[in-house]
Amino acid sequence: AILPDETDPTERLQFLQEKVLHSALLRKERSELRTLLARLELEEDEEAARIEGAQVKMKENLDSLIGLIREVTTGLNEELKAKNAVSTGKKRS
């Protein structure tokens, strides 16, 4: 078996998981495996929280942009109605 790079947690995790399959894990290695798996789970949870936070912020920004577009559109529609009313009034005179 090829020994893993001791400084690379991913390689070490794979190595220990392979040993589990072969039932050759020492007590110290079992503890290390649990620690590595817990660390990996924590990193995944943190990444999921970062992604969720970014999605919430993006949705807030999008909602704000949609609100601004609606305000501008409403303002332009009101201006257009006012101009049409003025031109219709001029045509009738």
The type of residue at 50 is: R
Residues 16-35: pLDDT tens digits? 888 887 787 888 888 898 99
Model confidence pTM above 0.75? no
pLDDT computed for residue 91 by the predictor: 67
The type of residue at 37 is: L
Q: List the structure tokens of 31.
A: 């503890």
Residue pair 19/6 in contact by the 8 Å Cβ criterion? no
- Average pLDDT of the chain to the nearest whole number: 89
Q: List the structure tokens of 16.
A: 């220990």
Q: What is the CA angle 33-20-34, rounded to 5?
A: 15
Strands (E), the chain: none
pLDDT computed for residue 80 by the predictor: 95
